[in-house]
Amino acid sequence: QLRVAPAKAFAKMRDSQLQSLTPTQLVNLSTDVFLALNKNQLGCLTCSQLKSLKPSQMASLPLGVFKDLVKKKADCMSAQQLAGLSQEQLQYLLKNQLPELNKEQLQAMDATQLQSLSSSQLQKLKSDQWRQLLPEQVAVLSEPSMRALVKSLTPEQMQALTPAQIRLLQPADIVKLSPLQIQALTPAQIVAITPDVLTQLNKPQWREWTPEQIRSLQPAQLKALTPEQLSWLSPVQLNALTPTQLAQLLPSQIASLTAKQQQILLPEQLDELQPEQLQAFANPLVLGKPKSAADLVMDKDFQQLAADQFTPQKITLLLPAQLRLLTPQQISGLNKTQLSSLAPTQWQLLSPAQLAAISPEVWKSLDPAVLKNLSPVQFSAMPPALWQALTPAQVQAIPVTVLAKLSPEQLRLLNAVQANALEKEQLASLSAQQLQALNPQQLAAWNATQLQKLNASQVAAFTPAQLNQLSESQWKALSPDQIKQLQPTQLSALNPKLLNALLNEQLQSLTGAQLAALSPAQLNALKPVLWQAFTDTQIAVLSPVQLASLSPEQIRSLAPIQINALTPVFFSNISPVLLQALTLGQWAAVAPQAIAAMDTPQIQSLTIVQVGNMSPAQLEGLSGNHLQAFTPLQLNAIPPRMLWSMSNQQLQSFTPEQVAQFTPAQLNQLVTVLTPQQLTALDRNRQAALDNPSSRLQSQPAPRPLPEKQPNRPPPVLQR
């Protein structure tokens, strides 16, 4: 029936009628229907109704209609609707409401939509919004957009950049990259970096390169490295250079290596050097010679030495080749003093097997600064026993680039005390996969300060189960921005007890999409005092199904402005118990459209106090059926002056039986308006009251309350 109804029929509908349309009915409406609706009618559609429209319906709307439809409700749109928008609609939305888009909406944008956005538009996105873009979306960014926002990309997003995009980076772009971003570059991306861009890397960036990344450097890139950059190479990085790569270095570059760097080079690396390269060493005497049989015997003897024979003084003199000879058994016997004498470059030469041999008791006694000397490769190879031996101070000394490389399994090895020691920069480096690996004990150990250091996208990465494991005090510690980034699936699974722990400003930060995800059971469990925190805009977003389980205590806690925001659809389904629970202040705030949406049982459930305090505007919204539903007690409660404010059509809809229940004062006020048929049921007493001048309260009716317009009819003239 609705499908064949003319568009102009919808244009005559009241807000309450439009809001009563079901999703099944809405998806069958044509574009002409939406064109016929005015601005207020389009704006009255609820969040759930907007979300029920088909993407094709929304995409077919002219821009002006679309603006009125989604105004203040952009976050209610589904990902499918957003993906189906026309270019004109999308441009409007991104220009005016881009910072309000949620994760699902951002991730729904396709390559065409993303590439159509200018750099200035994309820069309006908050950093947390950028982190929510999918890697495949980052891979299709245009050159201006990619270059403008490369510094905001997460490590995972960095890895999504194509070699073609990497080749477009300029020297000014590369210096903006953080160590975490540098460390995320894949071998294929490294190959794509142009030599002139590579030479702009600074020392902190260069020192974060992993052995795998070093081995990916091409001849042209190696030859472009400056002497200063080569001097920054750590032992691990130097040893990662393949013999073929070393053979590509220019003599001038070889000459820039320090004496310690020369000593660190492996024999197999030196074997590939050309004569002119060997001659370029600043001190050729430090170069190792091929080992003889006698040397091999000496090496074996060296490995037979007892741990106590390695005094701190002797340890500092050990050459790289000698350090590599130390057996796990020898290292396991070294004490704190001996290990503390190792220089940073010596620490970096230790193999995973050598590190694993250190006693956990000795390990936790070491100065935290020692851990800063270890490479990501060494950390990743540490056995569980050493991880669990770390002191809080040692945990805080772990570089963020190392922490970001830890596997979820390694991160899960940290105990509650260690997890509690993580600092701001360390927390910010954790990926979604790492956060999701945290166990309940680790999460429980985080204090308010630590939780507040997590960016919004990290909070959005927690699983529903993890969020339910947080304590009430931890929930209170989350900022409104963090709360705003929670996904609907996270909120819909939240324990009502934790929902009750939220502060007013946290509740007020919830978006329409988030509120729509809350179940009736969650809302029913919400304390009455917390209902007062919701804004009128938020109240208007809640569906009748969600509000159906409201208790009298909860509805009585709402402010008049919140009551006014409740939709006509809600009042068309409100229970008599809730209706009667409204205070006079709340009842006065009920919109006329909401009263007009009530049915007969609801009207009859109104208390005489509520009926007696209806405003002219509220009375004006009553239909003939509503008026005929009034009981005698309800009718008698309406002041004569308020009856006079009603239209002729309304007054003449009263049945003779109802008119017979009017008080003498009411009858004398309305006698000239009522039809003879309506007066046929009057009893003798009321007839006498009409004939008795003393029962007439006034010869002229009181002026109608402003700003209501008086009906076009003469005032009553009482007959003598």
**Residue 163 in contact with residue 191, Cβ under 8 Å?**
yes
- 44-53 pLDDT per residue, tens: 888 878 888 9
* pLDDT at residue 298, rounded to an integer: 63
* pLDDT at residue 719, rounded to an integer: 39
Burial (CB count <10 Å: 0-12, 13-18, 19+), residue 473: exposed
- 258-299 pLDDT per residue, tens: 878 877 877 777 777 778 887 777 655 444 555 556 555 566
In the chain, what are the domain boundaries? 1-109, 599-720
- 228-255 pLDDT per residue, tens: 998 888 888 888 888 888 888 888 888 8
Higher pLDDT, 303 or 388: 388
Q: Provide the percentage of residues in the chain whose pLDDT is more than 70.
A: 93
Residue 106 contacts by C-beta under 8 Å, 6 or more apart in sequence? 129, 132, 133
Burial (CB count <10 Å: 0-12, 13-18, 19+), residue 46: buried
Q: Specify the range with the lowest mean pLDDT, choosing from 206-220, 296-310, 586-600, 621-635.
A: 296-310
**pLDDT higher than 50, residue 697:** no
Higher pLDDT, 268 or 221: 221
DSSP secondary structure, 464-476, as one string: HHHHHHS-HHHHH
Burial (CB count <10 Å: 0-12, 13-18, 19+), residue 720: exposed
481 falls in which pLDDT band (50, 70, 90)?
A: confident
**pLDDT higher than 80, residue 691:** no
* pLDDT at residue 701, rounded to an integer: 47
What are the Cα distances from residue 110, in Å, to 56, 80, 643, 692?
16, 11, 60, 81
What SS3 state is found at 72?
A: coil
> Rounded to whole angstroms, how far apart are CA atoms 130 and 149?
9
**pLDDT higher than 50, residue 468:** yes
Backbone φ, ψ for residue 629 (5° rounding): -85, -15
Burial (CB count <10 Å: 0-12, 13-18, 19+), residue 496: middle
**pLDDT higher than 70, residue 562:** yes
716 falls in which pLDDT band (50, 70, 90)?
A: very low
In one letter, which amino acid is 595? I
Residue 77 contacts by C-beta under 8 Å, 6 or more apart in sequence? 50, 51, 58, 70, 105
**pLDDT higher than 50, residue 711:** no
- When computed from its CA atoms, the radius of gyration of the chain, rounded to whole angstroms, is 39
Backbone φ, ψ for residue 344 (5° rounding): -50, -45
**pTM metric for this prediction:** 0.67
**pLDDT higher than 50, residue 698:** no
Mean pLDDT, range 86-113, rounded to an integer: 81
507 falls in which pLDDT band (50, 70, 90)?
A: very high
> Rounded to whole angstroms, how far apart are CA atoms 678 and 643?
15
Higher pLDDT, 571 or 267: 571
Helix, strand, coil shares of the chain as percentages rounded to 5? 60, 0, 40
